[in-house]
């Protein structure tokens, strides 16, 4: 119940234990097509260039930046947690001139902040935002930022690593030009692939660069020959991982996106009312709280690390620690993918309340349980 990896269904593990086929085998190629098609459905896009990059979410981040950014390009990046900070590092390594738009950790990036930055930057190439900041639990609204970005002639890049499969991600409706996600958050698959999608506009930009993409491995112009119709060998696809993602996406679509989002919302709301019943609260901004990542504020006088250690050693429950300015201030409780289940929530609450009592913070287990019904 931490910030990922989330629990993985037996069907996915089973798919990953099958004998190998080759990465150019007709059976594998057929599976690749299904994978692309399911990813389009989950991302809610018609983008042709939609496929899983070999590597974790951070590889997808690099994929987007190395393909779209050339040395000297102006890039605006929203920074309100760990992953916005990481995007700045990656963009600078591509030679971008980065303008940071910063919010306190736990708060969202607002459209007004982006509008102000767009006024300062003469020729913005790209605006990059983290949709769901896993380090803080904030969900930044995309639509208004997208309008401003396009009005300024820039591309919109959205990190959907934690949002995909847990809350609405509507690439086409929001006119997102580039996105990367991950398998181990709300898709409930082991880590190892990064689903990405580029709009036709973004693809044009990548195709007509002045300079070569500095990463051979992540160059979309080369990857397109393998994931497109030519099937030219580029690198050996991690075959087993792709079968795992195929099985995980089938489960996502079997449940249905709307049902899945609703499940994530309901379990988040249940946790929130249980916390209120024992005078605890979330540290993320009211009105913009993530369903899949719940940052519980550590009450005064309680040893944050001691609670986390006891949850793990006595109850086999893992929760995440706060990072950066939130270190020692919050516990990060993940309700991602398969982990977002009422029985997990019940187990967590009884264990958590018990540990808090033992750590000297009187907490009414029955009141917390009653609040979630
Ligand atoms: C986890 C995460 C990443 C990085 O993914 P890795 O799989 O750890 O490389 C990037 N962005 C967000 C929002 C994340 O939650």
Q: What is the DSSP string of 53-78?
A: EES-HHHHHHHHHHHH--TT-EEEEE
Looking at the CA of residue 183, tell me the nearest atom of ligand 1. Answer: 7
Helix extents (H) in 121-227: 143-151, 200-207, 220-227
Residues 6+ positions from 151 with CB-CB distance below 8 Å? none
Tell me the two tokens of residue 163. Answer: 């949002």
Residues 6+ positions from 61 with CB-CB distance below 8 Å? 83, 86, 87, 90, 159, 180, 194
Question: Which residue, judged by its Cα, is nearest atom 12 of ligand 1?
Answer: 161
Closest CA to 68 of 210, 219, 206: 206
Distance 161 CA to ligand 1 centre (A): 6
Classify 324 in phi/psi space as left (phi over 0), alpha (psi -120 to 50) or beta.
left
Classify 95 in phi/psi space as left (phi over 0), alpha (psi -120 to 50) or beta.
left
Distance 204 CA to ligand 1 centre (A): 26
What would the pLDDT profile of 179-238 be if each residue is shown by its tens digit? 999 999 999 999 999 999 999 999 999 999 999 999 999 999 999 999 999 999 999 999
Looking at residue 104, the DSSP 8-state letter turns out to be: -
Per-residue model confidence (pLDDT) at position 76: 98
Residues with C-beta less than 6 Å from any ligand 1 atom: 4, 56-58, 83, 130, 132, 134, 159, 161-162, 182, 185, 191
Per-residue model confidence (pLDDT) at position 284: 95
Helix extents (H) in the chain: 10-15, 26-43, 57-68, 82-93, 111-120, 143-151, 200-207, 220-227, 239-255, 257-277, 304-315, 342-358, 365-372
- Rounded to an integer, what is the distance from CA 294 to the centroid of its chain? 14
DSSP reduced 3-state for 49: strand
Distance 191 CA to ligand 1 centre (A): 10
* Per-residue tens of pLDDT for the chain, all 373 residues: 999 999 999 999 999 999 999 999 999 999 999 999 999 999 999 999 999 999 999 999 999 999 999 999 999 999 999 999 999 999 999 999 999 999 999 999 999 999 999 999 999 999 999 999 999 999 999 999 999 999 999 999 999 999 999 999 999 999 999 999 999 999 999 999 999 999 999 999 999 999 999 999 999 999 999 999 999 999 999 999 999 999 999 999 999 999 999 999 999 999 999 999 999 999 999 999 999 999 999 999 999 999 999 999 999 999 999 999 999 999 999 999 999 999 999 999 999 999 999 999 999 999 999 999 7
Per-residue model confidence (pLDDT) at position 172: 98
Kindly report whether the global pTM for this prediction surpasses the value 0.95: yes
Question: Of 65, 87, 161, 193, which is best to mutate to test ligand 1, by the most ligand atoms within 8 angstroms of its C-beta?
Answer: 161
Distance 159 CA to ligand 1 centre (A): 8
Question: Which residue, judged by its Cα, is nearest atom 8 of ligand 1?
Answer: 57
Distance 58 CA to ligand 1 centre (A): 6
Per-residue model confidence (pLDDT) at position 373: 79
Distance 139 CA to ligand 1 centre (A): 15
For residue 23, give Cα distances in angstroms to 183, 221, 232.
Answer: 20, 19, 11
Asked if 355 contacts 311 with a C-beta cutoff of 8 angstroms, the reply is yes
- Whether the upstream peptide bond of residue 258 has omega within 30° of 0, thus cis, is no
Q: Which residues pair with 77 in a beta bridge?
A: 100, 128
Per-residue model confidence (pLDDT) at position 190: 98
Distance 270 CA to ligand 1 centre (A): 26
Residue identified by tokens 């605890």 is: 280
Looking at residue 289, the DSSP 8-state letter turns out to be: B
Residue identified by tokens 């902040």 is: 113
Question: Which residue, judged by its Cα, is nearest atom 14 of ligand 1?
Answer: 161
Looking at the CA of residue 61, tell me the nearest atom of ligand 1. Answer: 10
pLDDT above 90: percentage of residues in the chain = 99
Looking at the CA of residue 182, tell me the nearest atom of ligand 1. Answer: 7
């Amino acid at each position: 119940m931490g910030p990922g990896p989330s629990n993985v269904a037996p069907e996915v593990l089973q798919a990953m234990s099958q004998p190998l086929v080759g990465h150019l085998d007709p059976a594998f190629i057929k599976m690749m097509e299904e994978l692309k098609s399911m990813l389009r459905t989950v991302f809610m896009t018609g983008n042709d260039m939609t496929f899983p990059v070999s590597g974790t979410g951070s590889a997808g981040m690099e994929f987007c930046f190395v393909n779209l950014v050339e040395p000297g390009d102006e890039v605006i990046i929203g920074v309100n947690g760990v992953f916005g900070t990481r995007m700045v590092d990656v963009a600078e390594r591509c030679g971008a001139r980065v303008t940071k738009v910063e919010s306190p950790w736990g708060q969202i990036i607002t459209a007004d902040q982006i509008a102000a930055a767009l006024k300062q930057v003469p020729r913005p190439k790209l605006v990059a935002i983290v949709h769901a900041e896993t380090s803080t639990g904030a969900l930044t609204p995309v639509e208004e930022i997208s309008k401003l970005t396009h009005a300024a002639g820039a591309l919109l890049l959205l990190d959907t690593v934690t949002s995909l499969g847990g809350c609405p991600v509507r690439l086409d409706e929001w006119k997102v030009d580039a996105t990367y996600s991950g398998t181990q958050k709300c898709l409930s698959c082991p880590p190892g692939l990064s689903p990405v999608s580029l709009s036709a506009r973004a693809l044009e930009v990548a195709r007509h660069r002045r300079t070569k993409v500095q990463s051979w491995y992540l160059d979309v112009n080369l990857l397109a020959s393998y994931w497109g119709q030519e099937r030219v060998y580029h690198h050996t696809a991690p075959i087993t991982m792709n079968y795992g993602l195929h099985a995980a996406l089938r489960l996502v679509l079997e449940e249905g996106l709307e049902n899945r989002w609703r499940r994530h919302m309901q379990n988040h709301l249940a946790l929130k009312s249980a916390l209120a019943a024992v005078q605890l609260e979330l540290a993320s901004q009211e009105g913009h709280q993530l369903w899949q990542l719940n940052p519980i504020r550590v009450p005064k006088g309680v040893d944050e690390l001691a609670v986390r250690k006891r949850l793990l050693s006595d109850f086999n429950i893992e929760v995440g620690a706060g990072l950066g300015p939130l270190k020692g201030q919050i516990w990060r409780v993940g309700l991602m993918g398969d982990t977002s289940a009422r029985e997990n929530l019940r187990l967590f609450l009884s264990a958590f309340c018990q540990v808090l009592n033992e750590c000297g913070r009187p907490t009414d287990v029955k009141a917390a349980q009653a609040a979630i019904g």
